[in-house]
Amino acid sequence: MVREGSFFTDGKRIQALSGLTAAAGILATILLSVFSPVSDDQKIKIWIVVGIVTVFIAIFNSFPKIYLDKRLTVVSDVVYIFMIALVMIFLGKSGSVLVILYMILVALDAFILPLSYFALVVLGSMLSIACISAINTNIFSSDFAFHMYGLAILAIVARVVAKDALLVKEEKETSESEIIELESNKREIRNLLESLSDGMFVVNAENMINFYNKAALSILKIVASEDKILGRNINDFLPTIGPDGPEIITNEVFGSLSSSVRNNFKVVRGDRTIKIHTNVTPVLEEGKLKGAIIFFRDITNEKNLDEQRAEFNAIASHEIRTPLTVIEGYLFFLLDPASKAKYDSLTKEYIKKAHEASQDLIHLITDILTVIRAEENSLSVNLKKVSLKEFTRDIVLSFKNKAKEKGLIINFKVLTKKEIPEVITDPVKLKEMISNYIENAIKFTEKGLVTVELGLLASEVLISVIDTGTGIEHGEQSKIFDKFYRTEDWKTRKTGGTGLGLFIVKTLAERLGGRVGVQSEIGKGSKFFFTIPVEYKNKKDLKEFKEGK
């Protein structure tokens, strides 16, 4: 068997041996021409052929592009063998020695050329010998058959012997070219990752760093050589601090094997604190955890600006709300018959209007504070057990008068015969959501009914507020839950409002683990609904609920 790494599988070495054989042929020809009884006339012809062959071989072997091209190898070998055959004519009988040389050349070709090319060399050589034999019957006539048979047998034997070697060589060449391709792909991917502006680390399942890019080092201002980074724990370079304190960046994905997790973390390195936005993706192989790819971006400046802006808004809103609540309180007190304040009916009318306006302002500022908190992701929930049926009915009752003032009837219906379970949720937020829907229903309905329905889905409770009001155009229905969106033109609108109400319902519903939706037809009315889960899902809130925080 021919083993990989042996002489016969090494194309370059065989090629070199071919070159040496050709050179030996030239030397042998020169020696034979000097030492055998050849006429001067013949000698000159021999040297001319030798000269031509020498130049030809020198050129051929000087350019790898030429000698590594298998098609050109065929041409060169046939030319060479033709030349040897020619020289043999000039040398007469003594030239027969050269037969050995071209036999060796043909045999070596069996180890480097594919079958079709090898067959061409053998045929070309046979043709050369046949031509020479035809030109000069003296030399080859008797030996012609011997040459032909000899060449054919040699070719077959060499090829059979070379078969294994060629196979091994081919495999070697394929795997070599595959390795080259892989290497170049690897280089390309590395260049791509290096040109990213996001930092990147690749870690194994033990959090050891396998790969990083330049941006990772520059964001974290790390100056260290590759050998000091690779193989080290990610937490040595990216000591992340989550909302609950120090936490290794891969904790969440390694814990849940979820597809990809985006988070914001703080990183404290020396006296520097930076805020980063991270995207961590687990690397799984047949369901087994192999590691993770971490992308991160420095968001310190953006976050600081956001925080400053939100802080300003929160302080401003809070500072406005405090005196407003005082004004609203005093106006309420003046209107309370128990206060025994003395004023005429016109003054009473003014006080009533001022009281309503102060209530609207407090409502607006409360909405703005809710939106700020939602955008900061700091909307806290205060979970309690709620009996939904009684809870919703009480809210509906509190709107009876308001509905009556507009000539509307307000109803409450439970859609299921099944027991509505007690749910754990935030009652303040729930009340705000239901009230917002009912207020809108009354506001946008001129006559008819407002119905509040309570239903049960597979794992959720469904609360709907249905009215017989103006309805909403189809194209607008997808936008009305957006912040500040109002269907009426602000210049011509008849109803007051900021466009924050539905956005807040959506934000609160999502915070409580639910969804919102609307169905509406212009002129017929609308049905606004939201769901909340029967079993509250956010583990962190539940933990606080159980600990009674």
Instruction: Find the angle CA(148)-CA(153)-CA(159) to the nearest 5 degrees.
Output: 125
Give the span between the Cα atoms of 154 and 167, in whole angstroms.
Answer: 20
Q: Minimum CB separation from ligand ADP for residue 405, in Å?
A: 17
CB of 541 closer than 8 Å to CB of 381: yes
Give the span between the Cα atoms of 359 and 327, in whole angstroms.
Answer: 10
Nearer of residues 140 and 503 to ligand ADP, judged by Cβ: 503
Q: Minimum CB separation from ligand ADP for residue 460, in Å?
A: 22
Nearer of residues 125 and 507 to ligand ADP, judged by Cβ: 507
Q: Which of 19, 150, 427, 499 binds ligand ADP (CB under 6 A)?
A: 499
Nearer of residues 70 and 363 to ligand ADP, judged by Cβ: 363
Q: Which of 139, 472, 508, 512 binds ligand ADP (CB under 6 A)?
A: 472
Q: Minimum CB separation from ligand ADP for residue 416, in Å?
A: 24
The answer to whether 470 contacts ligand ADP (rule: CB under 6 A) is yes
Query: What single letter denotes the amino acid at residue 542?
Result: L
Q: Which of 9, 125, 250, 440 binds ligand ADP (CB under 6 A)?
A: 440
Task: Give the binding range for ligand ADP (CB under 6 A) out of 20-28, 237-245, 323-331, 485-493.
Answer: 485-493
Task: Give the binding range for ligand ADP (CB under 6 A) out of 1-9, 13-21, 345-353, 492-500.
Answer: 492-500
Q: Which of 159, 169, 321, 486 binds ligand ADP (CB under 6 A)?
A: 486
Task: Give the binding range for ligand ADP (CB under 6 A) out of 16-24, 164-172, 337-345, 493-501.
Answer: 493-501
CB of 234 closer than 8 Å to CB of 203: yes
CB hemisphere CA count around 499 (13 angstroms): 13
The answer to whether 501 contacts ligand ADP (rule: CB under 6 A) is yes
Task: Give the binding range for ligand ADP (CB under 6 A) out of 20-28, 62-70, 222-230, 437-445.
Answer: 437-445
Q: Minimum CB separation from ligand ADP for residue 468, in Å?
A: 10
Instruction: Give the helix, strand, coil percentages of the chain, each rounded to 5.
Output: 60, 15, 25
Q: Which of 2, 463, 502, 532 binds ligand ADP (CB under 6 A)?
A: 502
Which helix or strand (DSSP H or E) is residue 87 part of?
A: helix 70-91
The answer to whether 467 contacts ligand ADP (rule: CB under 6 A) is yes
- DSSP, res 97: G
The answer to whether 497 contacts ligand ADP (rule: CB under 6 A) is yes
Nearer of residues 35 and 484 to ligand ADP, judged by Cβ: 484
Q: What is the 3-state secondary structure (H, E, C) of 4-21?
A: CCCHHHCHHHHHHHHHHH
Nearer of residues 319 and 488 to ligand ADP, judged by Cβ: 488
391, two tokens: 């809870």
Angle between helices 137-194 and 98-112 (to 10 degrees): 30
Q: Minimum CB separation from ligand ADP for residue 367, in Å?
A: 9
Q: Minimum CB separation from ligand ADP for residue 437, in Å?
A: 7
| CB proximity list for 313: less than 8 A, separation 6 or greater | 368, 372
The answer to whether 426 contacts ligand ADP (rule: CB under 6 A) is no
Q: Minimum CB separation from ligand ADP for residue 243, in Å?
A: 30
Which parts of 195-225 fold into alpha helices (H)?
214-220
Q: Minimum CB separation from ligand ADP for residue 293, in Å?
A: 41
| CB proximity list for 335: less than 8 A, separation 6 or greater | 348, 351, 352, 355
CB of 114 closer than 8 Å to CB of 70: yes
Nearer of residues 232 and 402 to ligand ADP, judged by Cβ: 402
Give the span between the Cα atoms of 488 and 202, in whole angstroms.
Answer: 52
Give the span between the Cα atoms of 297 and 200, in whole angstroms.
Answer: 9
Q: Which of residues 510-549 bind ligand ADP (CB under 6 A)?
A: 526
Q: Which of 302, 306, 488, 535 binds ligand ADP (CB under 6 A)?
A: 488
The answer to whether 441 contacts ligand ADP (rule: CB under 6 A) is yes
DSSP 463-485: EEEEE-S----HHHHTTTTSTT-
Query: Site size for ligand ADP, by CB under 6 A?
Result: 20
Q: Minimum CB separation from ligand ADP for residue 498, in Å?
A: 5
Give the span between the Cα atoms of 253 and 282, in whole angstroms.
Answer: 6
Nearest CA to 165 among 16, 17, 14, 21? 14
Task: Give the binding range for ligand ADP (CB under 6 A) out of 126-134, 135-143, 464-472, 535-543.
Answer: 464-472
Task: Give the binding range for ligand ADP (CB under 6 A) out of 92-100, 150-158, 163-171, 466-474.
Answer: 466-474
Q: Determine whether 235 is exposed, middle or buried from the number of CB atoms within 10 Å of its CB (0-12, 13-18, 19+).
A: middle
Q: Minimum CB separation from ligand ADP for residue 528, in Å?
A: 6
Q: Minimum CB separation from ligand ADP for residue 472, in Å?
A: 5
CB of 35 closer than 8 Å to CB of 62: no
The answer to whether 498 contacts ligand ADP (rule: CB under 6 A) is yes
Give the span between the Cα atoms of 13 and 310, in whole angstroms.
Answer: 75
The answer to whether 102 contacts ligand ADP (rule: CB under 6 A) is no
The answer to whether 469 contacts ligand ADP (rule: CB under 6 A) is yes
Nearer of residues 70 and 402 to ligand ADP, judged by Cβ: 402
- Other C-beta atoms closer than 10 Å to the C-beta of 154 total 17
Give the span between the Cα atoms of 130 and 121, in whole angstroms.
Answer: 14
The answer to whether 367 contacts ligand ADP (rule: CB under 6 A) is no
- Other C-beta atoms closer than 10 Å to the C-beta of 5 total 9
Give me the residues that bind ligand ADP (CB under 6 A), please: 440-441, 444, 467, 469-470, 472, 480, 485-488, 497-503, 526
